[in-house]
Amino acid sequence: MEIKASNTPKLEWTGDALIIGLFEDAIELTGDMAKLDVMLAGTLSELIEETEFKGKANSTASSRVGGTTPIRKIMIVGLGKSEELKLETLRQTAATCGRLAKKERCKTLGISLPICQDADSTAIAITEGIELALYQDNRFKSELENPGPDVEKVELIGLAASDEAIASAQQICSGVILARELVAAPANSCTPITMAKTAEALAKEFDLTLEILEKEDCEKLGMGAFLGVAQGSDLPPKFIHITYKPESTPRRKLAIVGKGLTFDSGGLNLKTSGSGIEMMKIDMGGAGTTFGALKAIAQLKPDVEVHFISAVTENMVSGHAIHPGDFVTASNGKTIEVNNTDAEGRLTLADALVFAEKLEVDAIVDLATLTGACIVALGNDIAGLWSSNDDLAAELTAAAKKAGEKVWRMPLEEKYFEGLKATHADMKNTGPRPGGAITAALFLKQFVKNTPWAHLDVAGPVWIDVENGYNNPGATGYGVRTLVNWILS
């Protein structure tokens, strides 16, 4: 899809559909809009009247335009109240516009929306909204879901935005889409081996340094926690580390760590039916977001060094699976009593965090579909954020806000660590049910010594069952845009 800003006036634009945004408090047709109505022989005012269009956010109306007008269809989209206009409003509105245009079989689209903050931010939000709404994952369908013409060309009418801004938004979207595709792919298609292949392909395409630690390499590094999880799987574990280095001296050095369970059966503490076991292909959502951010960053080329890390494996049942109650030793020497094999994500992350800290980075952020408890606490749309560093927490909160991705800071309540006290090992991997997302975060904290660190529990937002806003149902690619904003900040 080609998207460009254009200074063609509304009245002169030619193409399949002209979409105009209208605020709730300004739907009377004045100025240019009145002229357009005259040009369209009153179609616009009739459309507003007939559909009782009030400009409510994301409401739409469209009409075929007859005669020899330069456009085939006129469409209006509600923007809500003008004083409530945010970039997120534009993102959602643009998504609505894209969907409507596709439904109405329009190939070329002129969109006239108001400016928010500045022209480039506006163009970025609109581009993200359209690209992400129109993306359809047909990889596993034998026939296309929505055949028919695709939107091919979009002009952002009357917006003085730069081509670079739009291009950067498209690069970010390519990362979001990669994250979605990785999460959506089932566990018989997305495995530790294919994750390593994806990493290899990304490293090759963007000329990045790739390090893949095989099982033996992980053994040498003493990654007993990660390998304890991996030992029940017939597939080899892959510890993936990709580095993006800028050409100039980096302003900062950062590490992103993503939980990479390509399937989480629960292990011998097997997930029961009704627990959502059939959804556990999403358990590499943190790694998916990590790879997605990597793809975006490799194209955006900021002056920041970023390490992208994931300890990828499956959590399976077998004769060589870890027993509930086994002790494992992580690569920092700490011993863990695995009192529940279904709390496996934190075990894989423990070794990944120790590895990340050895790289002497300025900050580490991990993302993980870590606990059902976080979904209970915050619902499906909001990620939990834990950090012992207020500056880092503030940076991430701002980055998420800018992305329109919801996070909520949660406490690292030290007292709750008592729930993880073990009799003969240093700690257990599972505490009591209350505050389960907090004890999970406290567990991770044991594996980072001095580096500013933040943990995002993304168990809820990596997936949506019903369509919401600009996201199609299914994998969301949540977190990619937050990470990109944070890295660029």
| Active centre residues (catalytic) | 271, 346
Site for Mn ion in 325-354 (CB under 5 A): 342, 344
> Interface with ligand BES by CB under 6 A: which range of 146-154, 246-254, 353-361, 364-372?
364-372
Question: Is residue 287 classed as helix, strand or coil in its secondary structure?
Answer: helix
- Binds 328: which of ligand BES, Zn ion, Mn ion, none (CB < 5-8 Å by kind): none
Using the structure block, give the residue that is written with the tokens 């040009």: 39
Asked if 264 touches Zn ion (CB under 5 A), the answer is yes
Give the residue with the Cβ less far from Zn ion, 4 or 271.
271
The residue count for binding ligand BES (CB under 6 A) is 16
Are the beta carbons of 349 and 257 closer than 8 angstroms?
yes
Q: How far is residue 152's CA from residue 270's CA, in Å, rounded to a whole number?
A: 47
Angle of helix 119-134 versus helix 163-184 axis, rounded to 10: 30
Asked if 37 touches Mn ion (CB under 5 A), the answer is no
Question: Is residue 342 classed as helix, strand or coil in its secondary structure?
Answer: coil
> Interface with ligand BES by CB under 6 A: which range of 9-17, 237-245, 322-330, 342-350?
342-350
* The amino acid at 413: E
Work out how close the CB of 344 gets to ligand BES at its nearest, in angstroms, rounded to a whole number.
Answer: 5
Reading the block at residue 36, the tokens are: 């357009």
Q: How far is residue 350's CA from residue 449's CA, in Å, rounded to a whole number?
A: 12
Options 344, 357, 395, 405; binder of ligand BES; rule CB under 6 A: 344
Give the residue with the Cβ less far from ligand BES, 37 or 457.
457
Q: How far is residue 93's CA from residue 6's CA, in Å, rounded to a whole number?
A: 19
- Binds 192: which of ligand BES, Zn ion, Mn ion, none (CB < 5-8 Å by kind): none
Q: Single out the residue of 276, 280, 234 nearest to residue 260, CA to CA.
A: 280
Give the residue with the Cβ less far from ligand BES, 66 or 434.
434
Options 70, 186, 276, 379; binder of ligand BES; rule CB under 6 A: 276
Q: How far is residue 428's CA from residue 426's CA, in Å, rounded to a whole number?
A: 7
Q: Where are the alpha helices (DSSP H) in 404-479?
A: 436-445
Site for Mn ion in 236-265 (CB under 5 A): 264
Site for ligand BES in 404-463 (CB under 6 A): 430, 436, 459
Are the beta carbons of 302 and 488 closer than 8 angstroms?
yes
Site string for ligand BES, 282-301 (x = CB under 6 A): -x------------------
Which DSSP symbol is given to 149?
P
* Residues of this chain that bind ligand BES (CB under 6 A): 264, 276, 283, 340, 342-345, 369-373, 430, 436, 459
